[in-house]
Each structure stands twice: as structure tokens, then as C-alpha cells.
């Protein structure tokens, strides 16, 4: 019997020709940083595809969480999930916040809203939850708790790119030509 390996962490690569075409464009533009033409095109394509007008490209997911924490001026204790990539917690630590872990639901692997209120203290300022493996958190329940206690909410959606909450129509998958 032959065994086919399953690469759980193998990098997904785009078609090489398509990638090289874009790389050539970057070379020809001589702009490799700071809001270059490819950067702008990708941002515009993502805004349209994800129907997210307030969208910024970041160098990595950790920085995106850090920026969100700073933008919302989150300080003190932040309720978060222990079941995520390490960046969810390390971004909190980088920003001087104290992570307070609340357990997950066994069916969704996302933070269990039923356990959040017991972890709230006078120092709690926010909830940072992860949509695990593309499964959305119970956003309505989390929102209701946040509103009741005056907390900010940030979602780490690194696993949930292009996931539609209560599914909408599917959209094209390739970056449009200039």
C-alpha cells in the first residue's frame, strides 16, 4: 500500500508564471516599498472582493493585531483565546496588555461566549477572539457582552480570509490585470 503524505503546514504557492509576471512588474516600476503600484492594486482588489472599504495591507498578521490594539487604544486586561496561533497572545504582550484566557467551545474551537463574563474585571478593556480554521466566532454573543460591559472587540481573522459570515455569493479568485 502506498502512502500519500498530507502536508499540514506546506506553503501554498501561486502559479509560478503569474507570480513572475507580477515580480517583473515590480522590477519595472522600481517601487518595492511604500504604497507602490502593485500594493495599491492588491489593496483595491481586496477592498472590492471582501467588501471592506477600510482595509490596509500589513507586512504580517502580528502587526495587524498590534495596529488594531493601538488604533483602539486597548490597555490593561484583554480577554482572549488560548487556542490560536501564538501571535494572538504575543501581539497583546508586545502592546503591554495582559492576556486573560477564556476556554473555547468544543464544537467550533472558538472562544466560548458563555465563559467570558466570569473573566471580566474592572481592568478588562477588550476581547480579542480568533475565528479558528475559518469557523466564525459567535459574533452576536460576543458583541452583546462587549456592549453590556463597554469593551472593545478585535477579531484575529488570519484563518478566515474570504470567509463569509452567513455566506454570501462567491466572487472571482484572481487578482485583476492592470
Chain residues binding ligand PLP by CB under 6 A are 60-62, 84-85, 87-88, 130, 156, 158-159
When the beta carbons of 10 and 30 are compared against ligand PLP, the nearer one is 10
Residue 130 Cβ vs ligand PLP, minimum distance, rounded to whole Å: 5
Q: List, in sequence order, every residue forming a beta bridge with 100; answer none if it has no partner.
A: 79
Smallest separation, CB 84 to ligand PLP (Å): 5
E strand map for the chain: 77-80, 98-101, 124-130, 152-156
Find the DSSP H helices in 30-120: 37-49, 61-71, 86-94
Cell numbers representing residue 123 in the block: 481592568
Integer Cα distance of 92 and 80 in angstroms: 9
CB of 109 to ligand PLP, least distance (A): 11
Contact 126, 101 (CB under 8 A): no
Nearer to ligand PLP, 31 or 109 (CB): 109
25/138 with CB nearer ligand PLP: 138
Nearer to ligand PLP, 78 or 87 (CB): 87
Cβ 92 to ligand PLP, closest distance in Å? 12
Amino acid at each position: 500500500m502506498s502512502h500519500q503524505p498530507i502536508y499540514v503546514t506546506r506553503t501554498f504557492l501561486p502559479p509560478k508564471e503569474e507570480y513572475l509576471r507580477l515580480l517583473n512588474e515590480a522590477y519595472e516600476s522600481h517601487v518595492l516599498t511604500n504604497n507602490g503600484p502593485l500594493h495599491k492594486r492588491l489593496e483595491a482588489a481586496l477592498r472590492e472582493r471582501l467588501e471592506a472599504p477600510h482595509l490596509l495591507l500589513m507586512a504580517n498578521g502580528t502587526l495587524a493585531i498590534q495596529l488594531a490594539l493601538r488604533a483602539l487604544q486597548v490597555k490593561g486586561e484583554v480577554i482572549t483565546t488560548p487556542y490560536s496561533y501564538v501571535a494572538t497572545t504575543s501581539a497583546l504582550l508586545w502592546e503591554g496588555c495582559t492576556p486573560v484566557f477564556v476556554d473555547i467551545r468544543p464544537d467550533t474551537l472558538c472562544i466560548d461566549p458563555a465563559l467570558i463574563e466570569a473573566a471580566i474585571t474592572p481592568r478588562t478593556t477588550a476581547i480579542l477572539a480568533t475565528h479558528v480554521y475559518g469557523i466564525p466566532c459567535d459574533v452576536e454573543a460576543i458583541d452583546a457582552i462587549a456592549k453590556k460591559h463597554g469593551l472593545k472587540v478585535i477579531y484575529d481573522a488570519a484563518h478566515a480570509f474570504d470567509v463569509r459570515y452567513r455566506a454570501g455569493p462567491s466572487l472571482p479568485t484572481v487578482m485583476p490585470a492592470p
